[in-house]
Structure 1
Amino acid sequence: MTKDELLDAVGPAFSKLRRTALLEVEEPFSAKDLSRTLVLNLVLEHARDSDREITVGGVAGLLGVDPSVASRMVSDNIKAGYLVRAASQEDGRRSVLRLSAEGEALMERFRRHQRSAFEYITADWPEGERLEFARLMLKYVDSLAGLRHRRP
C-alpha cells in the first residue's frame, strides 16, 4: 500500500471502530446503550477533566448537534436511569448533568467491554505491537484535544 493509500484508508477505518462495541465479547452492548454511552462518556470526561459543570447545551456543543437533539439524548439517558439533573453550584437556576450510580456502572462495563474487544481483535498481534498501537491511539486522541489551541 502506498503512503497516500494508507493515509486515505485511515478515515474509513476510524468510522468502523465504534462498531467493535457490538462484538460478542464480554456482555455485548445493545445499539441503544452504545448510543447512550456517547453522552455518558462526555459527561464523565467533562466532570473528570475540568472544574466546569456540563449542561444539555454543553453536550450539544461537544457532540456538534442541535440543542434539541442533545436534549432528547440526555432525556433518554435520564429515563434509562443513567443520568440525573442537579442544581448548578455556580448558578442555581441552571441544571447540570451527573452520572447516576447506574450510569457509572454502565460506563465501567463499557470500559471493560472496550478492553475485551481490543484484546480479542488484536489477540494474534505481538504484545509490542498491541502496546504501541494503544500508545499511538492515546497520542492521537490527546492531539485532538490540543486542536482547540491550534490555528488552522
Structure 2
Amino acid sequence: MSAANTSEDAETTTEHPPARPEVLTAVERALIRIRRRQSRRTLARPVVQGMSEPVDLSTLAVVDAVDEGTGEGNKDVTVGFVADRLAIDPSRASRIVADAVRTGFVRRVASQEDGRRSCLELTAAGQDAVAAAHRTRQDFYATVLENWDPAEQEEFARLLTKFVHALDDAAGG
C-alpha cells in the first residue's frame, strides 16, 4: 500500500465531531431557500422561453436527466433511471418520458447490453434544449458568483459537490 493510499484511507475513516446545532440550522435554512427557488422554477422558465421549440418544464427535467445519465459512462439511461434522478414514481416517469419522446426531445433506442430493453437518448432538439439549459443556468450562476474571489468560487464548488455526494450516499444512491 502506498503512502498516498494510506493517507486517503485515514482521511475517509477519520472520526469527526457531530455538526453543531447552529451549523445544522444554517444549512437547513439555506436548503429550504434553495428548494423554494427551485420549486418556482426560476431557472427553468428562462430556458423554455428562449427555445425556438416550446418545451414543457417536465420535458426539460427529462432532458436534463437523460443528459446526466449519458455523462455516466456506459450506463443505460432508462425510464427507471429518469424516475430515480427526478425522485418520482416509475409510472409518472413513464408518462413524462412518453411526452418527451412524443415532442421529439428524446428517442427510445435498444440497449447495447440487452436488445430487449429500451433506453433513452437525446435527439438534436433535446441536445439543443440541454445546451440552452446549461448556458442559462451557468450565466445565472456566473452573475451570482461574480463578486466572489476565485478561490472562494472553487472552494464553494468543491464543498457543494462534496455535500451532494454525501446526500446521495445518505439516501442510498
Place the TM-score, normalised by the shorter chain, in its bin: 0.7 to 0.9
In structure 1, what is the Cα distance between the partners aligned to 2:25 and 2:90?
A: 38
Gaps of 5+ in 2: 1-21, 50-54
Give the direction of change, closer, same or farther, for the CA distance of 1:33–1:3 in structure 2 (3 Å limit): same
**2:36 — aligned with what?**
16
In structure 2, what is the Cα distance between the partners aligned to 1:145 and 1:60?
A: 15
In structure 1, what is the Cα distance between the partners aligned to 2:108 and 2:116?
A: 12
Whichever residue aligns with residue 47 of structure 2, its letter is F
The TM-score with structure 1 as length reference comes to: 0.76
Task: Report the identity percentage.
Answer: 34
CA RMSD of aligned residues (A): 2.7
In structure 1, what is the Cα distance between the partners aligned to 2:48 and 2:127?
A: 17
Give the direction of change, closer, same or farther, for the CA distance of 1:16–1:135 in structure 2 (3 Å limit): farther
Whichever residue aligns with residue 63 of structure 1, its letter is L
Contact 1:21 1:34 in 2 (8 A): no
The TM-score with structure 2 as length reference comes to: 0.68
SS in 2 for 1:42: helix
Whichever residue aligns with residue 130 of structure 1, its letter is Q
Give the direction of change, closer, same or farther, for the CA distance of 1:65–1:5 in structure 2 (3 Å limit): closer
In structure 1, what is the Cα distance between the partners aligned to 2:44 and 2:122?
A: 23
CA positional deviation for 1:119: 1.5
Gaps of 5+ in 1: none
SS in 2 for 1:98: strand
Runs of 4+ in 1 over 6 A off after TM superposition: none
Aligned length: 145
CA positional deviation for 1:103: 1.0
